[in-house]
Amino acid sequence: MGVVKPCNMVVPKQIVSTTPNCSKIYSSKYRTNLKVTSSWNPLGTSFSDQCSATRTARLGDKWMECQGIKNWEGLLDPLDDDLRGEILRYGDFVEAAYRSFEFDTTSPDYAKCKFSKNSVLSQCGLAGSGYKPTKNLRATCGVQLPRWVDRAPSWMSNQSSWIGYVAVCNDKEEIARLGRRDVVIAYRGTATCLEWIENLRATLACLPDDMGPTRGSMVESGFLSMYTSRANNCPSLRDLVREEIARILQMYGDESLSITITGHSLGAALATLTAYDITSTFNDAPLVTVASFGGPRVGNINFRRELEKKGSKILRIVNSDDVITKMPGFLAEEHVVSDKVAAHMARLPGWLQKRVEDTQWVYADVGKELRLSSSDSPYLSKGNLATCHDLKTYLHLVNGFVSSTCPFKATAKRVLSRTQDEKQLLFR
């Protein structure tokens, strides 16, 4: 195959504005290296002032559509520029979760947040976001460790780790621009040894009764374990989320409010579980939306039905070249196993076929999908599995995507220059 040439179309017709250069407001951010900067002011204060009135009216009037109230009908192909900006903005919050995590196994603060709660966003270049972090979130792996682990380095057996944060929009101008007060829950992806082990626990498990009427809903065992497990002096991620959402609803429940949960890889799976839990636990929950990047499959058909019934809106940003999005298990729609799945099953040993037939490995995709492809970008190396899964790749593809018939903007530039420290975090 030859090099894929970008489409010469700069922006879809629907996003052309009479305000000069407004169509470039989001794309310019990702043209050089990926320093985390404010998504809504990437070109400096003077340019932002030029365009703020146009953007405020446009997004404030359609925020519910961008949050999925109509399942993003008419917004994905071609990709609406306001929605593009929101996806990239929430991607910044996930990037901040990665940058705030201490990856250095020799550090006494390994697996903790490197910054104080109040400075997480400012330390990651999002001081002007209009959001204030209100809660640090930790997740605990429920894997039972063998005795010999006591002789291994402590970082190998670290059970509880900082996984993300909750932040609330408290800036009046940003609230006006968004059309509501927004609450963000942001999760990083896999980082520790035990989290990798949890990822491999691919069989489905029933949701616990305290997560509402489940009606046969099943989810991946490892993801459920990370969401519900506790450790000594460390509540479960579920308990931390419920406590903070209860406080926020009590404080802002009479306002126009949204809850947006975003994450990459493992964080995308946890974001989906969090949405299910919030809509099951709080009868007065506002619109709950998930923006997931490179997420694996999470649950079965019944889990998807319950998510839809409870009103959770899930937007899955998927790179068709990313193998993580095609795992775990087998994919089936409703109760019909596709011919492709049946052909795979026919080649399996008898005992394994039985487990699949018992639905322990039969998954269903959830929500609405925005499908992208690394092969559409002339700036990405082909065949690199780690690059295909990297969050920066996802943001690059979102920034460049126009439509299924014109998959990449000619104006999108290469965005994957990294420092050496960032390179070691590629496969997350």
Which residues are known catalytic residues? 265, 322, 389
Token pair listed for 385: 């599995």
Token pair listed for 212: 């509402």
Beta bridge partners of 164: 137, 187
Q: Tell me which residue of 203, 193, 245 sits closest to 224, measured CA to CA.
A: 203
Q: What single letter denotes the amino acid at residue 299? A: G
Secondary structure class of 325 (helix, strand, coil): helix
Q: Tell me which residue of 359, 255, 210 sits closest to 299, measured CA to CA.
A: 359
Token pair listed for 192: 């520790």
Under 8 Å CB-to-CB from 219, ≥6 apart: which residues? 204, 205, 207, 273, 298, 299, 300, 303
* 162 phi, psi to nearest 5 deg: -70, 125
3-state DSSP percent of the chain in helix, strand and coil, to 5:
40, 20, 40
Number of residues assigned to the chain: 428
Token pair listed for 240: 């931390």
Please report, in angstroms and rounded to a whole number, the separation of the first and last CA atoms in the chain: 28
> Strand 287-293 vs strand 160-169: parallel, antiparallel, or unpaired?
unpaired
Token pair listed for 375: 């092969």
* 355 phi, psi to nearest 5 deg: -65, -40
Q: Tell me which residue of 98, 179, 83, 175 sits closest to 129, measured CA to CA.
A: 175
Dist CA 372 CA 361 (whole Å): 26
Beta bridge partners of 362: 330
Q: What stretches of 266-405 adopt beta strand conformation (E)?
A: 287-293, 313-319, 330-331, 362-363, 368-372
* 305 phi, psi to nearest 5 deg: -60, -40
Token pair listed for 40: 């809504």
Helix and strand totals (H; E) in the chain: 15, 11
The DSSP secondary structure of 269-288, one letter per residue, reads HHHHHHHHHHHHH-TT--EE
Dist CA 230 CA 139 (whole Å): 8
